[in-house]
Amino acid sequence: MKTSLIIMAAGIGSRFADGIKQLSAVGANGEIIMDYSIHDAIAAGFNKIIIVIRKDIEDDFREIIGRRIEAVCAEHGVELKYVFQELENIPGDIPEGRIKPWGTGQAVLAAKNEIDEPFAVINADDYYGKRTFAEVHNHICTETSDGRYCMAGFVLKNTLSENGGVTRGICNMDGENNLVRITETRNVVKCGNIAKSDELEIDANSVVSMNMWGFDKNFMKKLEEGFADFFSNEVPENPLKSEFLIPVFIQKLLSEEKIKVRVLPTEEKWFGVTYKSDIAGAAEFFGRLTANGVYKKDLYSDL
């Protein structure tokens, strides 16, 4: 069965002191976080990978990881595509002074012409774990259909950075693990055994979204319609900073009772690079996984 993985990497590119922070090596052989996601996706059964980048970072991307991924995909019969998230690829005119991309919803839409099968979506700079990929892949192969999707649900305390605040989608579910509400919550920080967002205390065992979703191909049509609506109704109110975000759009569809989203709970430990100070911890984290046999020293050798 054909299944695709869309990796949102267009945010990778801002120069960060001595390099591009999200492309910093965290593995012993220069692997970056995306290497581990691609490894786990291929192992889970994904046979098409679509990477969303920007034109201005294409050369850097191909130099640091692109050629390595191309070789791995070719060896294992996995189709690899690049698509580009462009500021001007919108259903309207670019507001004067706008330089900020249009968000994760637009990033996924950049792949619309490449999708004709069930697909998953992830962030490029987040680590999700082997079992999570396997469960999401199984769901999109067996249960995902038009209007019935899935989302990997992480435990909040497993997703916080030691080095500062992060944005998380706090989830509420019904008794059958169907998503009832998702609330984008900014500046979530670790405070001992609890988490806080500004003055709001949050249960550290809350289920959160890390932007790992499973959809059927028809979701692209809904997303395209949602983007046009966003551009007509929200951009005029905040032309320089408004963003079309997947969790916010999902919540809109949920509130209109147009979709159902099954939350697939996972105890996997998330890891990501939000701050430069996260890089050393990431290298230590992946070093432990390798030492414990979760991954081979030659990462792709066990595929």
In sequence order, what DSSP letters do the residues of 12-32 get, joined into one string?
TT-EETTEEGGGS--STTS--
> Which domain CATH number covers 75?
3.90.550.10
Asked if 279 and 285 touch (Cβ cutoff 8 Å), the reply is no
pLDDT digit string (tens) for the chain, length 303 residues: 999 999 999 876 443 344 566 677 889 888 999 999 999 999 999 999 999 998 888 888 888 888 899 999 999 999 999 999 999 999 989 999 999 889 999 999 999 999 999 999 999 989 999 999 999 999 999 999 999 999 999 999 999 887 788 889 999 999 999 999 999 898 999 887 789 998 789 999 999 999 999 999 999 999 999 999 999 999 999 999 999 999 999 999 999 999 999 999 998 988 887 777 788 888 999 999 999 999 999 999 999
Residue 80, beta-bridge partner list: 49
Q: What is the extent of the structural domain holding 26?
A: 4-302
> Residue 286, Cβ neighbours under 10 Å: how many?
24
- The crossing angle, in degrees rounded to 10, of helices 219-233 and 246-255 is 100
- DSSP 3-state assignment of 109? helix
- The residue with tokens 């050393």 is 280
Q: So what's the pLDDT on residue 91?
A: 93
**How far, in Å, CA of 154 to CA of 209, rounded?**
6
**How far, in Å, CA of 139 to CA of 137, rounded?**
5
Q: How many domains in the chain?
A: 1
**How far, in Å, CA of 79 to CA of 268, rounded?**
27
Beta pairing, strands 48-53 & 79-84 = parallel
Q: Which helix (H) or strand (E) holds 231?
A: helix 219-233
- The residue with tokens 């619309």 is 112
Q: So what's the pLDDT on residue 290?
A: 96
Q: So what's the pLDDT on residue 194?
A: 82
Q: Identify the CA nearest to 262 among candidates 215, 303, 195, 222.
A: 215
**How far, in Å, CA of 80 to CA of 189, rounded?**
36
Q: So what's the pLDDT on residue 13?
A: 47
Q: Identify the CA nearest to 249 among candidates 143, 51, 102.
A: 102
Give me the phi and psi of 142, to 5 degrees please: -115, -25
**How far, in Å, CA of 303 to CA of 299, rounded?**
9
Beta pairing, strands 126-127 & 271-272 = antiparallel
Asked if 3 and 264 touch (Cβ cutoff 8 Å), the reply is no
Q: Identify the CA nearest to 129 among candidates 63, 69, 43, 197.
A: 43
